[in-house]
Amino acid sequence: FQTPTPPSVSVIRLPRGPDGTSRGFDPNSPRYQALSPISISTMGCGNEADLEREQQARVALRERYLRSLFAMVGHTIHFTMYERVNVSAFFDASDIDILNFQVSDLQTPLGVHREALLRCSDIISYTFEL
Amino acid sequence: MSEWQRKSPLEWQTYVNKEVKVTAAEKHEYKGWVLTIDPVSANVVLVKLMEDGKVCVSVILGHAVQKVEIVNEGDDEMKEQLVHLFMPEESKAYGHEELEKRKSSLKTWLETNHIPVTEQGESQRTLCVAGVLTIDPPYGPEDCSSSNEIILSRVQSLIQGHLATQL
């Protein structure tokens, strides 16, 4: 027996934040600064050869990750979020810092969102099949 | 920031191509072969090669990683498989003579179809069609460049038809 497709739901807009211009998310707020990961982790001071090796490692690791993101486009991805929430959607794009994923046809228990932005800080893991 | 996220790229690299067990937030556990660890987010990309030839990819977000244990050091065969995963198809290497043959054969075919074609570029390696489309070695449909979509698609199908008769 097939479950009927859940109806589309409209996106609920958050009220404007205290500064009057944002929608509840301010990248300059102390909370975000504390929660967002520092994007470059490095050994700091080290000799040139070590720093070069570290940079080579960073390049190799990052290239593979970017290629894995390319491979995801257009596929259905299953996201395991916090609080035992599981959703699935088509992957469209990621931002450069891997803080948000743009997805479409997000299937949630409340309905289907045609376009959505998932915060990576809300996701524990995601999986897909090739 | 978790301990996992504070590791250096060289430390993360020690896990690549190995089979690991990852313990994540809310007691989730994952096992698979490490394809890579994103140095920006510390996301761990695990790969499981299924029997039907499919690949199952699980990525654990860096901020959710609690523990990573190596369960299998892996071998060269596994490493090879992982290297080629997600990589675009590598172009076959053609010898100089082979490329010349392909070029002449394609040029003749285009001329037979009344399409003006000239050779240009250093060492005359590039074919130029009607002054608006170029074909680089190895002269396949994907090697065409043009700003005119219509001509591009017509020439691509001509080349495809031509290559089909060559096999």
Dist CA A106 CA A87 (whole Å): 7
Beta-carbon contacts of B111 under 8 Å, excluding residues fewer than 6 positions away, are B117
Beta strand residue intervals within chain B, DSSP E: 19-24, 29-37, 44-49, 55-60, 65-72, 117-120, 126-129, 133-135, 144-146
Q: Give me the residue label for tokens 């290629």.
A: A67
* Strand B55-60 versus strand B65-72 pairing type: unpaired
**ipTM (interface pTM):** 0.71
Q: What does the block give as tokens for A78?
A: 């299953």
Average pLDDT of the residues in B3-18 = 94
Q: Which pLDDT score is estimated for A30? A: 65
Residue B13 has pLDDT above 90, yes or no: yes
pLDDT band of B23, cuts 50, 70, 90: very high
From chain B, the residues in CB contact with A69 under 8 A are none
Q: For residue B59, what are the β-bridge partners?
A: A126, B45
pLDDT over 70 percentage in chain B: 95
Q: Tell me how far the alpha carbon of residue A21 is from its chain's centroid.
A: 24
Of B96 and B66, the one with more pLDDT: B66
Average pLDDT of the residues in B152-156 = 91
Is any Cβ of chain B less than 8 angstroms from the Cβ of A127?
yes
B135 phi, psi to nearest 5 deg: -125, 120
Average pLDDT of the residues in B136-162 = 89
Amino acid at A88: S
Tens place of pLDDT for every residue, chain A, 130 residues? 666 777 776 666 666 666 666 655 566 666 656 656 554 555 556 688 888 899 889 989 998 999 899 899 989 999 999 999 999 999 999 988 899 999 999 999 889 999 999 999 999 999 999 8
Q: Which pLDDT score is estimated for A10? A: 67
From chain A, the residues in CB contact with B13 under 8 A are 57, 60-61
Q: Which pLDDT score is estimated for A23? A: 56
Dist CA A119 CA A101 (whole Å): 7
Of A5 and B31, the one with more pLDDT: B31
Q: Which pLDDT score is estimated for A50? A: 87
Q: Tell me how far the alpha carbon of residue A130 is from its chain's centroid.
A: 20
Model confidence pLDDT, tens digit, residues B115-146: 899 998 767 788 999 889 989 888 989 889 88
User: What's the whole-number average pLDDT of chain B?
Assistant: 89
Is any Cβ of chain B less than 8 angstroms from the Cβ of A25?
no
Is any Cβ of chain B less than 8 angstroms from the Cβ of A1?
no
Q: For residue B44, what are the β-bridge partners?
A: B37, B60
Average pLDDT of the residues in B10-22 = 96
Nearest to A61 among B26, B39, B58 (CB): B39
From chain A, the residues in CB contact with B14 under 8 A are none
SS3 A114: strand
Average pLDDT of the residues in B101-105 = 91
CB atoms within 10 A of CB B131: 9
Q: For residue A50, what are the β-bridge partners?
A: none
Nearest to A121 among B7, B59, B63 (CB): B63
Dist CA A83 CA B63 (whole Å): 15
Question: In this complex, do B12 and A61 lie within 8 Å of one another by their Cβ atoms?
Answer: yes
Q: Which is nearest to B15 in space by CA: B60, B76, B77, B71?
A: B71
Nearest to A41 among B7, B28, B43 (CB): B7
Model confidence pLDDT, tens digit, residues B35-86: 999 999 999 999 999 989 899 999 999 999 999 999 999 999 988 888 888 8
Q: Which pLDDT score is estimated for B142? A: 86
